Amino acid sequence: MILKKLFNKKNHKNPLIISGPCSIESPNQLEETVSQLVDQGIEIIRGGVWKPRTRPGSFEGLGSIALPWIQEVKSKYPVKFAIEVASAEHVEEALKYDIDIYWIGARSTVNPFTVQEIADSLKGTGKPVMIKNPVNADLSLWMGAVERFQKAGITDLAVIHRGFSNFRDTIHRNSPLWQIPIEFRTHFPEIMMINDPSHISGKRELVPLIAQKALDLNFDGLMIESHIDPDNAWSDAQQQLTPADLKKMLSELKTRKVKFEGQKMKSQLEEIRQQIDQADHDLLEALHRRFELVEKIGEYKKLNNVAVLQLDRWKEIFESRPEWGKPLRLNKDLIQEIFGLLHQESIRKQTEILDSE
Contacts of 32 (CB under 8 A, 6+ apart): 228
* Domain identity same for 231 and 334: no
What is the domain-level CATH number for residue 311?
A: 1.20.59.10
Of 4 and 286, more confident:
286
Are residue 243 and residue 278 in the same domain, yes or no?
no
Final residue of a structural domain among 198, 220, 252: 252
Note whether 295 and 353 are within 8 A (CB).
Answer: yes
Looking at residues 323-329, what average pLDDT do you find? 94
125: pLDDT strictly greater than 90: yes
pLDDT score at 3: 72
**What span, in angstroms and rounded, lies between the C-alpha atoms of 149 and 146?**
5
pLDDT at 259 over 90: no
The answer on pLDDT for 258 being more than 80 is no
Evaluate whether residue 258 is within a structural domain.
no
Q: Residue 231: CB partners within 8 Å, gap ≥ 6?
A: 237
Which of the listed residues 220, 252, 284 is the one where a domain comes to its end? Answer: 252
Give the C-alpha separation, 15 to 280, whole Å.
33
Average pLDDT, the chain: 92
In terms of residue numbers, what domain contains 336? 263-355
Both 270 and 234 in a single domain?
Answer: no
Alpha-carbon distance of 108 to 178, in angstroms, equals: 21
Give the count of domains, the chain. 2
Same domain for 273 and 229: no
Q: Are residues 150 and 243 in the same domain?
A: yes
Same domain, 220 and 271: no
d(CA 65, CA 144): 32
Residues 6+ apart with CB under 8 A from 179: none
**Residue 179 CB burial class (10 angstroms; 0-12, 13-18, ≥19):** exposed
- Please say if the pLDDT value at position 78 is more than 60: yes
User: Burial, 318: exposed, middle or buried (Cβ in 10 Å; 0-12, 13-18, 19+)?
Assistant: middle
107 pLDDT above the threshold of 60: yes
Question: How many C-beta atoms lie closer than 10 Å to residue 208's C-beta?
Answer: 19
Per-residue pLDDT band for 144 (boundaries 50, 70, 90) equals very high
